[in-house]
Amino acid sequence: MNKSLRQQLEKTIQIAQAMLDGKAFHVSNSEIDCVPVPVMTQTAAKKQGLVLKRGARRVGTWGVRVAYGIASVKGDLYLASSFKPQEERP
């Protein structure tokens, strides 16, 4: 097993264990593929016409640094099953 595959597997196990323990985890942009279940941010869900269900809990955070630390983007991660289609209001 090569080093990068081992690191990816360790990160996946770490995230899965945190989720089983009910603890929040943090992933960077390059590690988002290590999350073993479908997750998304509220912004990504909004683009798909979804809204967060009442009582949904954050499972982790996501972050990325842009250009030598000048700016950073952060977001809360929720299980994809925590979203529902937005209802049309008359």
In a domain, 59, yes or no: yes
pLDDT of residue 57: 94
pLDDT of residue 14: 96
Closest CA to 52 of 23, 20, 77, 32: 77
In a domain, 67, yes or no: yes
In a domain, 78, yes or no: yes
In a domain, 81, yes or no: yes
Mean of all residue pLDDT scores within the chain:
90
In a domain, 76, yes or no: yes
In a domain, 24, yes or no: yes
Domain enclosing residue 63, as ranges: 3-85
pLDDT digits (tens, 9 = 90+) for 37-72: 999 999 999 999 999 999 999 999 998 877 776 778
Provide DSSP, the chain. Answer: --HHHHHHHHHHHHHHHHHHTT--EEEEGGGGGG-SS-EE-HHHHHHTTEEEPTT----EEEEEEETTTTEEEEEEEEEGGGEEEPPPP-
pLDDT of residue 69: 64
Give the total number of structural domains in the chain.
1
In a domain, 47, yes or no: yes
Q: Give the span between the Cα atoms of 52 and 46, in whole angstroms.
A: 9
pTM: 0.83
pLDDT of residue 70: 73
pLDDT of residue 55: 92
In a domain, 90, yes or no: no
